[in-house]
Amino acid sequence: MNWNDKLSSYQSKSQKAEEAKSSAVALLIIGGCGLVIVLLWAFNLLPGNISIVRRFMLCGIIGLFSIVFLIMGFFSIRSSKRLRIGAKEEDKRTEEILKWARENLKKEVLDEKVLGEGEELEEEEKYFRRISLISACLNEKYMNLEADYAEDISEQIYQQTYDNASSDRGAIAS
């Protein structure tokens, strides 16, 4: 994982699908365990020296929360499935954009536009100008991209285009 993965505000649909799936599993486990505890306690199979009124009142409250967790877990599973379908489409589009970039955004051409005639720039300035140019080319070709997605793709294009991406980032990170 590079530093950009930690700073990026963009979260891919496949990442969102994984988070929804893990949330669903956690909610279903908690809800299921809660219902088991309620049933055991309701039938006096768990030790506890409290009155029957309090026992059933607590069973009702814990049971209600458990059912809510189960319902939320089922909705999270459904959401995860929807996000997985969207993730496949997004991955296909990302691959298409990266292929276009490999074919059309060559390192030499980008650097010629960024650096100009005999201009000397700091590594940070080169990086930001390159990213800006890549973003402009990307937005020209693919106009309806979300801003966060376009920024993330620009970073991926930069990484695939420049072999020394880590040294540029190291200069920026310090």
What's the length of the chain?
174
Q: E strand or H helix at 75, and its extent?
A: helix 52-104
What does the alpha-carbon distance between residue 74 and residue 54 come to, in Å, rounded to a whole number? Answer: 30
Give the phi and the psi of residue 116 in degrees, each rounded to 5: 70, -160
Tell me the pLDDT tens digit for each residue of 38-49.
Answer: 998 888 888 778
**What is the band of 117 on the pLDDT scale with cuts at 50, 70, 90?**
low
Q: Which pair of tokens denotes residue 6?
A: 């930690």
Q: What is the pLDDT of residues 52-97, one digit of tens each?
A: 888 889 899 999 999 999 999 999 999 999 999 999 999 999 999 9
Count of CB atoms within 10 A of residue 69's CB? 20
Question: Are 171 and 164 in contact, with CB atoms under 8 Å apart?
Answer: no
